[in-house]
């Protein structure tokens, strides 16, 4: 299950993309438009800054802005960054210890295929895809 952290990170990036004009956008404006707690967004933004997805500036005229084109933001990368992993089972997760039952596990191929399918799906979507008018009918975050 994708948590609110992953979903809200996507919403913030989409909002910044929709309102980008080269200036920094105050997070309070994004929080108001998205109806998300400013305090919660303030916990997400350092992750996005640290991983160079957005630029931030403090003080008067400060806020956040995208630092690349919307089509360069891959949803899969954002979700893996905020969620840690998209693995459907623990044995496929990042840094998972080798499973003693892997050789005889009859369900492992299914989980592996599901994991690959999930990653391919999210890696095929960018923030730019949400900016198109018809995207509102195709994706709900």
Q: Within a domain: residue 71? A: yes
CATH number, domain with residue 82: 1.10.10.10
Q: Within a domain: residue 102? A: no
What is the SS3 string spanning the chain? CCCHHHHHHHHHHHHHHHCCCCCCECHHHHHHHHCCCHHHHHHHHHHHHHCCCEEEECCCCCEEEECCCHHHCEHHHHHHHHHCCCCCCHHHCCCCCCCCCHHHCCCHHHHHHHHHHHHHHHHCCEHHHHCCCCHHHHCCC
- The reported pLDDT for the residue numbered 136 is 54
Question: Facing residues of 65 across strands?
Answer: 55
Q: Within a domain: residue 26? A: yes
Q: Within a domain: residue 115? A: no
Q: Within a domain: residue 108? A: no
Q: Which residue has the higher pLDDT, 134 or 23?
A: 23
Domain that residue 44 falls in: 1-86+126-141
Residue 1: is it exposed, middle or buried by C-beta count within 10 angstroms (0-12/13-18/19+)?
A: exposed
For strands 63-66 and 54-57, give the pairing: antiparallel
Q: Within a domain: residue 76? A: yes
- Asked if the model's pLDDT at residue 135 lies above 80, the reply is no
- Rounded (5°) CA angle 116-120-123: 135
- The reported pLDDT for the residue numbered 99 is 83
Q: Within a domain: residue 73? A: yes
- The reported pLDDT for the residue numbered 137 is 52
Q: Which residue has the higher pLDDT, 49 or 1?
A: 49
Total structural domains within the chain: 1
Q: Please state the pTM of the whole predicted model.
A: 0.88
pLDDT, tens digit, for every residue of 44-91? 999 999 999 999 999 888 999 999 999 999 999 999 999 988 999 888
């Amino acid at each position: 299950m994708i948590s609110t952290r992953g979903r809200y990170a996507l919403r913030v990036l989409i909002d910044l993309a929709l309102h980008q004009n080269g200036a920094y956008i105050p997070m309070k404006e994004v929080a108001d438009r998205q109806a998300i707690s400013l305090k919660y967004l303030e916990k997400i933004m350092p992750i996005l800054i640290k991983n160079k997805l957005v630029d931030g500036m403090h003080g008067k005229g400060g806020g956040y802005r995208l630092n690349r084109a919307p089509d360069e933001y891959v949803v899969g990368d954002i979700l893996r960054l905020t969620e840690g992993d998209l693995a459907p089972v623990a044995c496929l997760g990042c840094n998972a210890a080798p499973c003693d039952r892997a050789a005889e596990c009859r369900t492992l191929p299914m989980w592996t295929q599901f994991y690959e399918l999930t990653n391919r799906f999210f890696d095929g979507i960018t923030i730019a895809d949400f900016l198109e008018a018809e995207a509102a009918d195709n994706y709900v975050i």
